[in-house]
Amino acid sequence: MKELLEHIIKSIVDNQDKVEVEETTNEVGEIVLHLKVDQSDMGKIIGKEGRIIKAIRTIIRVPAIKQGKRVKLEIIEEGRPEGVSAEQLEEEAEKTGDITPAEEAPEETGEQSKE
């Protein structure tokens, strides 16, 4: 699962050399994958409304289920104060202009284009 996660993340980010994945097992027997990426790539792996990271979590869950195991993905952010969620940091950064939010996908209107 570690290799699968690394492959997926490296295909998304710009700074592939900064991708680090560590695999551990917690006290309840779950496999925990700790993911570190360059701060500039954080928005790319999270995606709009967390859609990308949710999809990645779903994909890595498949081999775990086949092996009869549970897997958990944790994103490690350098410089994040303890007790502050990634979402809180992202909201604050957007407010202050410290980061640019990931590009927004065009909204689907449900109408077919008339080209």
CATH match of 2-96 with 3.30.300.20? yes
| Each residue's pLDDT tens digit, 22-58 | 999 999 999 999 999 999 999 999 999 899 999 999 9
Q: Write down the pLDDT at residue 20.
A: 94
What's the pTM? 0.66
Element (H, E) at 37: none
Radius of gyration of the chain (CA): 16
As to burial, measured by CB atoms within 10 angstroms (0-12 exposed, 13-18 middle, 19+ buried), residue 112 is exposed
Q: Where do the domains of the chain lie?
A: 2-96
Distance of CA 4 to the CA centre of its chain: 14
